[in-house]
């Protein structure tokens, strides 16, 4: 009976980072990935604090050559802009020497990372879907599943690392996964157009708030752009529109999306829907297993923290395992400090995300943030959103507290803009609900997407 050192479930950024670092240290590593790469994935905007990880994995030159240079991010609060220039961080920022990141096609980016894992010596098996864990005497000792041909097999290891993303296979199977409230979803597609804004052309991430949600626009190549929106599931359903209809509506009426692309823009991909935009595992490790990346937790994509925390967690676990005693079971206690540190990151990002959504619902908070631009506040803010999360937790806690106080005292002026209204995107009471076979299918499929990490693709 073959026993490997580590079996990693999932070959995304978390899993491939762990696999590369472990295999480079001489461990026997197997990666089980249900898809075949390259494959589509959302999450194209990266953070500067991740660049040092690219260097460690020896993939930075490939990434630099393949993708769009990203100097920072900009948020539109109505007609006001809040700029986060990565070159204007504070003096303690870990990325002061690399004040930039990249806008990437995840299909290519993830492929670069997993090929590096294979080159380092990891055994990468594509087209293998894990169906169950193998538990002996209360310890997870491996997994069983099926390949593309329907052949079942088992893989045993000293440790199972769950890097299955929002699916969170091991925590979910143990009842440890919880979806955060309110439940949010993402609707997105790729468009072909010419740039309508200089910052979009220059590689900045750009986003615009609307009530309890936001849109994004970012450059993928000379004439292709990633376009999307995040909102509550309730708002989507109250719109009375299909995902494609709602995204097309936003492209026409949202100030950023309309002005950011030329009038001749054309959608060149399916419209996709991802549910469960926020979820967390109540435990990140157990007897024989540990969760990394989105399988540990995912908060919200508004500050592009997902890939950074995925790779950071993958590296943290890999270092612990590589330094542990060989040829013996890996104890759960090894990951105690890992869980503490990851919860610190989670709490810090959660505070920032909550403050962000307070701003989407309160024009008074938007005014506060725009008034504080420049100087110390901006430098601290850039350092945080650049990826230095837990080191700036006290700053973010204060921003969160002040946002709550200001929002409570001064509220929301929905007369400033239609997008500030609590019922923005809701179907008008005078509008009849037109139920078609497509909209029924959308509603069913969206419900299925919200039940897991599945992606709905709508071509109409």
Q: What is the mean pLDDT of residues 260-271?
A: 95
- In the chain, % of residues over pLDDT 90: 85
Three-state DSSP at 177 gives strand
At 460, the pLDDT band (50, 70, 90 cuts) reads: very low
Model pLDDT, residue 326: 84
pTM over 0.85, yes/no? yes
Model pLDDT, residue 275: 79
Top-confidence residue, 266 or 448:
266
Model pLDDT, residue 252: 95
- Nearest to 314, CA basis, from 86, 162, 88: 162
Model pLDDT, residue 433: 46
Model pLDDT, residue 327: 80
Model pLDDT, residue 392: 94
Range of lowest pLDDT (226-230, 395-399, 426-430): 426-430
Mind listing the pLDDT tens digit for each residue in 307-364? 999 999 999 999 999 999 888 889 999 999 999 999 999 999 999 999 999 999 999 9
> In the predicted model, is pLDDT for residue 40 greater than 80?
yes
Model pLDDT, residue 441: 36
User: What value does the mean pLDDT of the chain take?
Assistant: 92
Q: What is the mean pLDDT of residues 402-427?
A: 95
Model pLDDT, residue 80: 87
At 448, the pLDDT band (50, 70, 90 cuts) reads: low
Model pLDDT, residue 93: 97
Model pLDDT, residue 445: 54
Helices (H), 189-305: 198-201, 233-239, 243-253, 255-260
* CB neighbour class for 126 (10 Å; exposed up to 12, middle 13-18, buried from 19): middle
Mind listing the pLDDT tens digit for each residue in 372-402? 998 999 999 999 999 999 999 999 999 999 9
> In the predicted model, is pLDDT for residue 456 greater than 80?
no
Cα separations in angstroms, 434 against 240, 241, 303, 351: 8, 9, 36, 40
CA 401 and chain centroid, separation:
25
Mind listing the pLDDT tens digit for each residue in 65-96? 999 999 999 999 878 899 999 999 999 999 99
Distance CA 447, CA 64 (A): 38
Residues contacting 196, CB < 8 A, separation 6+ = 259, 260, 261, 262
At 1, the pLDDT band (50, 70, 90 cuts) reads: confident
Q: What is the mean pLDDT of residues 55-73?
A: 98
Model pLDDT, residue 41: 86
Mind listing the pLDDT tens digit for each residue in 157-210? 999 999 999 999 999 999 999 988 889 999 999 999 999 999 999 999 999 999
Domains of the chain: 3-67+103-179+278-339 (3.50.50.60), 184-276+451-458 (3.30.9.100), 347-419 (no CATH)
């Amino acid at each position: 009976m073959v026993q490997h050192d580590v079996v990693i479930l999932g070959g995304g950024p978390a899993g491939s980072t762990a696999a590369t670092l472990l295999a480079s240290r001489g461990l026997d590593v197997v990666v089980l990935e249900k898809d075949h790469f390259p494959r589509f994935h959302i999450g194209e905007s990266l953070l500067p604090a991740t660049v040092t990880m690219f260097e460690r994995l020896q993939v930075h030159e490939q990434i630099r050559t393949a993708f769009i240079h990203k100097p920072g991010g900009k948020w539109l609060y109505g007609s006001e802009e809040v700029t986060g220039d990565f070159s204007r961080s504070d003096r303690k920022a870990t990325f002061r020497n690399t004040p930039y990141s990249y806008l990437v096609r995840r299909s290519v980016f993830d492929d670069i990372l997993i090929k590096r894992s294979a080159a380092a010596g990891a055994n990468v098996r594509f087209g293998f879907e894990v169906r169950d864990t193998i538990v002996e005497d209360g310890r997870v000792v491996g997994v069983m599943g099926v390949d593309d041909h329907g052949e079942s097999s088992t893989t045993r290891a000293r440790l199972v690392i769950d890097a299955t993303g929002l699916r969170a296979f091991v925590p979910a199977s143990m009842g440890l996964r919880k979806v955060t409230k309110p439940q949010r979803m993402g609707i997105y597609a790729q468009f072909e157009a010419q740039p309508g804004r200089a910052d979009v052309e220059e590689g900045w991430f750009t986003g615009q708030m609307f009530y309890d949600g936001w849109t994004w626009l970012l450059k993928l190549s000379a004439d292709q752009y990633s376009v999307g929106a995040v909102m509550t599931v309730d708002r989507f359903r109250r719109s009375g529109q299909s995902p494609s209809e709602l995204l097309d509506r936003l492209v026409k009426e949202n100030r950023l999306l309309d002005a950011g692309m030329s009038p001749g823009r054309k959608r060149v991909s399916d419209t996709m829907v991802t549910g469960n935009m926020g979820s967390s595992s109540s435990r990140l490790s157990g007897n024989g297993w540990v969760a990394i990346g989105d399988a540990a937790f995912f908060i919200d994509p508004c500050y592009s923290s997902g890939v950074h925390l995925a790779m950071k967690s993958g590296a943290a676990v890999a270092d612990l395992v590589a330094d542990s005693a060989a040829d013996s079971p890996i104890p759960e206690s090894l990951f105690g400090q890992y869980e503490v540190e990851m919860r610190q990151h989670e709490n810090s990002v959660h505070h920032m995300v909550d403050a962000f959504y307070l701003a989407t619902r309160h024009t008074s908070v938007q005014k506060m943030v725009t008034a504080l631009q420049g100087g110390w506040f901006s430098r601290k803010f850039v350092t945080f959103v650049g990826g230095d999360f837990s080191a700036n937790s006290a700053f973010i806690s204060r921003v969160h507290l002040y946002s709550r106080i200001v929002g409570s005292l001064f509220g929301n002026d929905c007369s400033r803009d239609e997008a500030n209204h609590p019922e923005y995107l809701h179907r008008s009471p005078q509008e009849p609900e037109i139920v078609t076979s497509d909209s029924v299918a959308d509603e069913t499929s969206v419900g299925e997407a919200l039940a897991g990490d599945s992606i709905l693709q709508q071509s109409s």
